[in-house]
Structure 1
Amino acid sequence: MSLPLFADSSAVVHQSLDRALLAQLQAQADGPLVFEHCSFDGEDLEGIELRGATFRSCTFVGASLARATLTGTSWWRCRAAGSAFELSDLTDAKFDGCDLSNTNWRRARLSGATFAEVKLTGAKFTEAQTLGLTLRESLAVNADLRGLSFRKQTVVGLNLSGADLSGCDFTEAVLVDCDLSDASLKNARFARADLRRAKLGSLQVGDLLQHFKGSIISADQAAELVAGLGVQVI
C-alpha cells in the first residue's frame, strides 16, 4: 500500500493505521514520525515503539498502547477515550488539548510528562511513576490520582472534584483556580499548601485537622467553613 507522506518523508495524514502499516512507515522514515488526522481506533498496539513521534488531531479511541515506548512524544488535540497506556514509557511526553477520559495509566512511566488543557475524567494513574509530572488547566473529575506528588508545584486550573487523591502530596504547593470538592483525601498531605485560590467544597472539622493542618486559606474560606458548621459569622 502506498502511503501519502509530506515532502520531508516523516509525516502521514488522513490514514487508518494498524501495526503493519506503522512498521512500513517506520521503515520509510529517517526520523521520528508525524501523524495528522490519523485513526488508530480500537487497534492493538501493545509494545509498539514510537519514541519522539508527534500526533496531531489523531484518534486512539479504545486502543491498546500498553507496554509501548512513547518517550518524548507530542499529542495535540487527540482523542483517546478509553485507551490503555498501562506499563508504557511516556517519559517527557506532552499532551495538549486531548480527550483522555477513562484512560488507564497503571504503572506507566510519566516522569517529566506534561498534561495541559486535557480531559482526564475517570482516568486511572494507579502506581504510575510521576516524578516531575505536570498537570494544568485540566479536567480530572473522578480520576484516580492516588499517590501522586504535587509537592512545591504551582497547580493551575485543575478540576479534581470527586477525584481520589488518597496519599497525594500537596506539601507547599500553590493551588490556583483548582476544585477539590468531594475529592477523597485519605492520607493526603497539604502541609504549608496555599489554598486561598482553590475551591474546597464542604469540609468537616475532621478534614481540616487531618488533611489541612498548616495549610493557608483565605478569610472568606474560613468564614465559609465555619458557616458550614452552623456557626454564624458576623
Structure 2
Amino acid sequence: MTIPFADQTLSRADLKDLATDPQAVLHFEHCTFDGADLSGLALRGAQFLGCSLAETVLDKAILSDTRWLDCRAGGARFQLANLTDARFHRCDLNNTDWAKATLASARFAEVKLTGAQFREAQTLGLGFHDSLLVGADLRGISFRKQTIEQLDLSDADVSGCDFRDAIFEGGSLRDAHLKNARFDGADLRATDLGGLRITALAQFFKGAILSTDQAAALVSGLGIRVV
C-alpha cells in the first residue's frame, strides 16, 4: 500500500506510526524534513522525490531499497543506517556522514558527495557514477575490477582503498591521499593525476597503466624536460 505525501513539512511524529506498518510504502514528493530526527525509523522502500533533508538525522534508520531523486540533504547523518540496495540520483549529499552504515549494493549516480564521510561503512557492491567526491573520506573501500566513471576524487582520502584491475573512465585523483591504496593492474590513462609526485607513483601505482602524456607530466614535475 503506497501512502503519498506532497509539499509537506514532516517531523518524526508524523512518520512514527506509519513506519511501524510493514505493508506501507511511503512516497514523499517535494517534502521537507530539515533538521528532523528520523533515527531508527523503518522506512524500507520509501521514495523521496525532490525532498529537502538538510542536517536530518537518519542514524540506524532502515532505508533499504529506498529511492532518492533530486533531493537536497547537505549535512544529513546516516550513521549505522541500513541502505542496502538504495539508489541516489542527482542528489546533493555534501558533507553527509555514513559512518558504519550498511551500503551493500547501493548506487550513487550524478550526486554531490563533497566532504562526505564513509568511515567503517559496509560497502560490498557499492557503486558510484559521474559524481563529486572531493575531499571525501573513502578509506578502505574496495573498487576492485570496477569501471569507475567520471568520479572526482580530488583531495579525497582513499587510503587503503583497493583499485586493483579497475578501469578509470575520466575523473580525477588530483592531490588525493593514497596511503596503502592499491592500483595493481588499474587503467588510469583517462584520469587526472595532477598534484601527485613521482615518488607516490612509484609507491602506490606499481603495475598500473598510464598514458605517455601522464608519465611525461610526472617526470616534468621533477624538473626534467621530456622531448
TM bucket (normalised to shorter chain) is over 0.9
Q: Does 1:160 align with 2:126?
A: no
Partner of 1:73: 66
Would the aligned equivalents of 1:10 and 1:29 in 2 still touch at CA under 8 Å? no
CA gap of 1:9–1:125, structure 2 versus 1, over 3 A, is: closer
Partner of 1:94: 87
Q: Does 1:51 align with 2:72?
A: no
Structure 2 counterpart of 1:129, one-letter code: Q
CA distance in 1, matches of 2:24, 2:39: 21
Q: Does 1:187 align with 2:180?
A: yes
Q: Does 1:205 align with 2:198?
A: yes
Q: CA RMSD for the aligned pairs?
A: 1.4
- After TM superposition, give the deviation of residue 35 of structure 1 in Å: 0.5
Within 5 Å, give how 1:101-112 maps onto structure 2: 101-112=94-105
Give TM-score, length-normalised by structure 2: 0.96
CA distance in 1, matches of 2:8, 2:17: 13
1:62 corresponds, among 33, 42, 55, to 55
Aligned to 2:169, the other structure's residue is in SS state strand
Partner of 2:75: 82
Identity of aligned residues (%): 54
Unaligned runs of at least 5 residues, structure 2? none
Aligned to 1:209, the other structure's residue is in SS state helix
Would the aligned equivalents of 1:9 and 1:29 in 2 still touch at CA under 8 Å? no
Would the aligned equivalents of 2:71 and 2:92 in 1 still touch at CA under 8 Å? yes
Aligned to 1:207, the other structure's residue is in SS state helix
CA distance in 1, matches of 2:197, 2:36: 46
* CA-to-aligned-CA distance 1:170-199 (integer Å, 9 cap, x gap): 000001111000110000000000000000
* CA-to-aligned-CA distance 1:143-168 (integer Å, 9 cap, x gap): 10101111000000100001001001
- After TM superposition, give the deviation of residue 28 of structure 1 in Å: 8.2
Structure 2 counterpart of 1:75, one-letter code: W
Give TM-score, length-normalised by structure 1: 0.94
Unaligned runs of at least 5 residues, structure 1? 1-7
- After TM superposition, give the deviation of residue 24 of structure 1 in Å: 4.6
CA distance in 1, matches of 2:168, 2:29: 35
Structure 1 counterpart of 2:124, one-letter code: L
Partner of 1:138: 131
Would the aligned equivalents of 2:54 and 2:74 in 1 still touch at CA under 8 Å? yes
Would the aligned equivalents of 2:18 and 2:24 in 1 still touch at CA under 8 Å? no
Partner of 2:106: 113
